[in-house]
Amino acid sequence: MADITKPKVNVVLVGMGWTGSIMGMEMTEAGLTVVGLERGENRDTNPDFAYPKIADELTYAVRYKLMQNLSKETVTVRHSINDDALPYRQLGSFLLGDGVGGAGVHWNGMTWRAYDAELQIRTHYEQRYGKRFIPVDMTIQDWPMTYAELEPFYDRFEYLAGVSGKAGNLNGQIVEGGNPFEAPRKRDYPVPALKDNAPASLFAKAAREVGYHPFPIPAANASQAYQNPYGMQLGPCNFCGYCERFGCYMYSKASPQTCILPALLKKPNFELRDKSYVTKVNLDSDGKHATGVTYMDGQGRSVEQPADIVILCAYQMHNVRLLLLSGIGKPYDPRTGEGVVGKNYAYQKNSSVSVFFDQDVAINPFIGAGSGGQVFDDFNGDNFDHGPHNFVGGAYVSAMVTGGRPIGQSMVPDGTPKWGSQWKKALKDNYLHSFNIGTEGSVMANRENYLDLDPTYKDVYGVPLLRMTYDWKDNEVRMSQFVTEKAALVAKAMNPKAFTPHPPKFGDHYDVRPYQTTHTTGGAICGDKPGNSVLNKYLQCWDVHNVFVMGASAFPQNWAYNPTGMVGALAYWSAAAIRERYLKNPGPLVQA
């Protein structure tokens, strides 16, 4: 029994990042009483991200001040079901955000929409290439919604976040300077694209020379002053180079603090409780209806919060863990392929090409923005013929210099000693004259990659940790090698003094030590029936109709794009279904 029982509310939100903030606004505007629970501290732009203290690479980028304390809760990791899983004790491969705003505080701001073919991926590939083209252990599946259904909700999120960009397809008309491959949008981005820095200009020119189609990266870094529909004001980005792993002191990078929380916190029917670590969704005696949640407060007391609707808005891994801890849905078993909770965990497969120029080419990497740069999509999704290449998926290729911070963002040529006078000389000679071309690639769901509860390790409250079973598959290695070759052609066209591709190798195992991406997906996937998914098309649990689950845990597989644009669109999409249909007639929104 809990130490404290709070008065019942209409809605309890678990996690107060992007999706929690959006759901908080949508539910309070529907007239509901809402409590938002956040495991970490309450933070705001002022004073927490104020200049100059936020421009501290050691504190935020090396010591991870905005991230989860892994000594209290982490995940365990193994490569296969025959291995022992060990705790992820030091942040590396992915960064688990903590505190109000979540990962929406420390992200870079890349804001993408899906391709329709990506949303119908299994059907699309089977129709174009034949059913045998998809490997038997690749468990990809179609999303249960279409791009046309989601388009208005992408638009809402982009105008919430003040995204800078250039449309490439307006109502079916291709627009020069934008992405010629993108799905049609009803209107352009709310503000123009960011101006190119030197790497972006060099990259775009070279990409066009070799026949590709570069365009500005859609960036939630405001290119000019902007006021969003909630009345929140963003200032123009000054290219300070402190986006990822940092809060934005300029009110330029979209975050819940910048775009929505100040308006939400004024609502009399909303309450925010920080330092509230949710351990379970409570169910009634038949396990078919949620009665609220239990959490540990800042004083270490267990608290029960009764609610009519429970909405999980935490990070992807935390959502999956809560479902497993609460007994909602059948856990996935990779041996039989049965069960759904934990199924289809996916990551991303990246590579790079390091490019070095002579002293007369000034790159000036310290002039950087989180999403400033140029990109091409010629080898993303199914924008090219996969037939000869024997892989599913693709990647985008970009020149995105986010800053020139000396500890983590300096570059030296391969073969340079790791320390000493030769390292210092190489750093001095190359700091102002080098940058990386990056590729960010999709990862297809696989039968052997999944999430479950660890049988051995527990968190600080004695609750089982989430266990990740994951390793690279040949499909992703082939994809990344192919796209890295295309990136190297662009590097060569720049005529640098040297360039070095860094493709993956067959046989390499997934390594948690170097940072790769925080774009983890799956585990509570959406689908068209209970047998293949945890959630229906409105992100409502098939098994417990008053539990909704937001975020990238709903992705059936992972594409090349950063997930936040889709995550924001899905939150608005689900909120519309709750407001327009569920509140009028509580129950399943899709019949099983």
Q: So which residues are the catalytic ones?
A: 519
Burial string for 565-584 (b: 16+ CB within 10 Å, else e) reads: bbbbbbbbbbbebbbeebbe
Smallest CA-to-CA distance from 294 within 97, 73, 546, 37 is with 37
Rounded Cα gap, residues 329 and 319, in angstroms? 13
Give the DSSP letter of residue 168.
S
Rounded Cα gap, residues 581 and 540, in angstroms? 12
ω into residue 214 within 30 of 0, thus cis?
A: no
> Are 142 and 122 in contact, with CB atoms under 8 Å apart?
yes
**Tokens encoding 245:** 């792993």
Q: Kind of pairing, strands 547-549 and 498-502?
A: unpaired
Residue 521 backbone phi and psi in degrees, to 5: -140, 165
Smallest CA-to-CA distance from 216 within 198, 231, 194 is with 194
Cα Dmax for the chain? 73
Instruction: Render 520-568 in DSSP notation, one character per residue.
Output: -B-SS-B-SSGGG-SB-TTSBBSS-TTEEE-SGGG-SSB-SS-SHHHHH
Residue 248 backbone phi and psi in degrees, to 5: -100, 115
Smallest CA-to-CA distance from 432 within 358, 499, 488, 494 is with 358
Smallest CA-to-CA distance from 21 within 39, 6, 45, 38 is with 38
Rounded Cα gap, residues 504 and 510, in angstroms? 11
Contacts of 467 (CB under 8 A, 6+ apart): 75, 76, 77, 78, 85, 451, 452, 453, 454, 455
Smallest CA-to-CA distance from 25 within 306, 190, 231, 222 is with 231
Give the C-alpha distances (Å, rounded to integers) separating 429 from 357, 400, 435: 10, 21, 13
CA angle, 178 then 252 then 51, to 5°: 145
Secondary structure, 3-state, 454-488: EEEEECCCCCEEEEEECCCCHHHHHHHHHHHHHHH
Secondary structure, 3-state, 294-343: EEECCCCCEEEEEEEEEEECCCHHHHHHHHHHHCCCCECECCCCECCECC
Rounded Cα gap, residues 52 and 49, in angstroms? 9
ω into residue 47 within 30 of 0, thus cis?
A: yes
Reduced to 3 states (helix: H, G, I; strand: E, B; else coil), residue 223 is coil
**What is the residue whose two structure tokens read 């509230």?**
276
